[in-house]
Amino acid sequence: MDSIKTITTDELMKKLEQGEELYLVDVREDEEVAEGMIPSAKHVKMGDIPESVSQFEKDKEYVFICRSGRRSENVCHFMNDQGFKVVNMEGGMLEWAGKTEPKK
Catalytic residues: 66
In this structure, how many other beta carbons lie within 10 angstroms of the beta carbon of residue 71? 21
End-to-end CA distance of the chain: 35
- The residue type of 10 is D
The pairing of beta strand 23-26 with beta strand 61-65: parallel
Radius of gyration of the chain (CA): 12
- The residue type of 5 is K
Contact criterion met (CB below 8 Å) for 92 and 68 = yes
